[in-house]
A = this chain, B = another copy of it.
Amino acid sequence: MAEIKEYGEFALIEHLTKSFPIRQSSTLKGVGDDCAVIDASDGKTVITTDLLLEGIHFDLTYCDMRLLGYKSVVVNLSDVYAMMATPRQITLSLGLSKRFKVEDLERFYEGVRGACKTYGVDLVGGDTSASMTGLTISITAIGVTQEPVFRSGAKPNDLICVSGDLGAAYMGLQLLEREKAIFNQQDPADKQEFKPKFEGREYLLERQLKPEARRDIVAELMERGIRPTAMLDISDGLSSELLHICRQSKVGCRIYEERIPIDYQTAAQAEEFNLNVTTVALSGGEDYELLFTVPLADYEKVSQMSGIRIIGHITDGKLGAALITRDGQSELTLKAQGWNAFSAEDKSQGL
């Protein structure tokens, strides 16, 4: 295993980035100068950035470096798609403690490269540094759009839509945490033999460890000529994101518990953990699905899209944000119970 300090910063960056091709004609200059240079003259430029810290956003006990590289890119691209934009470039900065070897970095960059290939984006710059402690990852993604979709354009009577299903990534995390706790309780002699119990829960693990950004949904919206009035990606839980739309669009909403899309594995795992599956879907986080609103006139077009569920509608702001329960009998006020990065009590994970 090669030590990082045997390289030196510039040689290391060169070693790690040499196998990244440039795919975008808008990338005029990638890694290797004071700045990257891009041609962003053919639309409006969107920019997003995320900071991922070991022990807060990921746990290398169960998160392999390659998957972590992939996920770190995807969570940023998800924000770009949520603007109805196409991602084109990313920059990547890493802070590394001494316990990481060059091989660890190679695996991380392999994951980054995989995500760049899948989504057609170029790695154009970044920074690599020592760290006193764990692994620090900072990614900035840049994209282009003719006309961005904000959170602020929802109007009363608009339909509220979500892609895919919700809560699976959160249940995947709970499952990984349970198996980690069991592993830690084993006698040292038994740890070698330890096999975590994941049968029948593969979908939950995949949603937690290898999420994808919903490029397909954005492409289909464009093809069908559907322009959402508001859109964002669900990273902190459905409730929290709906409240962003309500606050920024100055509207209210009604969503229906029975309409919230939930996978069978999510429901089964929630039951096993004695958790309310609706709460999991509302507050779990890390779904990276799209939440968007469309005018009522687009009802038919949206209904024809596979993998899109209409879960409710936008109301006048005075009516607040509420969930209509499964029995249709009560309205529960929606609260942002998503991950709070600064609350030590809340053990859920967010990116």
Contact = CB atoms under 8 A, between A and B. Distances in A.
Given A46-B35, A82-B34, A340-B5, A95 B133 contact: no
Interface in A135-150: 136, 138, 140, 142-143, 145, 148, 150
A178 interface: no
Given A129-B57, A134-B133, A45 B51 contact: no
Nearest to A94: B51
Interface string A55-90: 111000000000000000000000110110100010
A252 interface: no
A9 B79 contact: no
B143 A35 contact: yes
A29 B148 contact: yes
B83 A47 contact: no
Number of copies of this kind of chain in the complex: 2
A80 B33 CA distance: 10
Contacts of A79: 34-35
A40 B41 contact: yes
Contacts of A8: 336, 340, 342
A285 to B, nearest CB: 12
A93 B33 contact: no
Nearest to A42: B41
Nearest to A28: B44
Interface stretch (A120-128, A191-199, A218-226): A120-128
A32 B248 contact: yes
A273 interface: no
Given A93-B138, A151-B33, A9 B49 contact: no
A340 B12 CA distance: 11
A152 B50 CA distance: 31
A49 B48 CA distance: 13
Contacts of A124: 47
A306 interface: no
Nearest to A40: B40
Contacts of A91: 47-49, 140
A340 B9 CA distance: 7
Contacts of A38: 44-47
Contacts of A126: 49
A39 interface: yes
Interface in A2-58: 4-5, 7-9, 12, 28-29, 32-51, 53-57
Contacts of A136: 51, 53, 95, 136
Contacts of A50: 93, 127
Contacts of A82: 34-35
A140 B127 CA distance: 11
Given A5-B342, A12-B342, 10 more contacts: A5-B344, A34-B232, A39-B45, A49-B138, A53-B131, A53-B136, A57-B129, A91-B140, A129-B341, A140-B140
Q: 8 closest pairs, A vs B, by CB?
A: A138-B138, A5-B342, A35-B46, A55-B132, A51-B93, A40-B40, A34-B79, A34-B82
20 contacts: A28-B44, A34-B82, A34-B233, A35-B46, A35-B48, A36-B47, A40-B40, A40-B41, A41-B42, A41-B43, A47-B140, A48-B91, A49-B93, A49-B138, A51-B138, A53-B136, A54-B132, A56-B131, A56-B132, A130-B341
